Amino acid sequence: MQLRFFNLLTRMSLLFAICLQFVNANAQDSVNFWDKVRFGGGIGAAFGSGYTDVAIAPGAIYQFNNYVALGLGVQGSYVRQRDYYESFMYGGSAIVLLNPIPQVQLSAELEQLRVNLNVDERFEDRYPYLNFRDRDFWNTALFVGAGYQMQNVTIGLRYNVLYNKKDMVYSDALMPFIRVYF
């Protein structure tokens, strides 16, 4: 499975590099490559009674023109529910952003995460019929989304077409997002 993820990231990185080289080679001399690169991503934190969720997801996109951008990102998160489970997730993603008009942003994002799930023994003992156990696995998500864009910020919804409730990576296939690139 690790080889599959490595191959996927290698292919995504190679495709991104080729696209960037093609654009850079065909650009006019007056346009600097780095002037079209935008950095951003997301961070998040949620805390509750015995619950902790912390995530960081930096990324970069190359803005080909006013309508199309292509980017790569990495992410990591830690989730813990006291007396139930603890989970570490990390991985990468590739994203395509389309702006048919300045206020509307459509997106497609392929994400590959390594999930390390550690279940509290007390939970396993109390609910053995749930078959909730320690697992380490790769999770692939393919998000399609739409949002309202205001300068550097986009607010919208995205849908994971590969959503699997049993993986317990995401609580629902439909998720709100706030995307920021500077």
Say how far apart CA 98 and CA 107 lie, in whole Å: 6
Of 20, 17, 71, the residue nearest 180 (C-alpha):
71
Whether residue 78 contacts residue 87, with contact meaning beta carbons closer than 8 Å, is answered with: yes
- Of the ranges 80-89, 104-113, 136-145, 148-157, which one carries the lowest mean pLDDT score? 80-89
Tell me: the pLDDT tens digits for 54-73? 999 999 999 999 999 999 99
Mean pLDDT of 148-156: 95
Residues 6+ apart with CB under 8 A from 103: 148, 149, 150
Q: Which residues of 118-157 are buried (b: 16+ CB within 10 A; e: fewer)?
A: ebbeebbeeeeeeebeeeeeebbbebebebebeeeebebe
- pLDDT band of residue 17 (cuts 50, 70, 90) is low
Residues 6+ apart with CB under 8 A from 99: 66, 67, 68, 105, 106, 149
At which residue do the structure tokens 């300068």 appear? 151
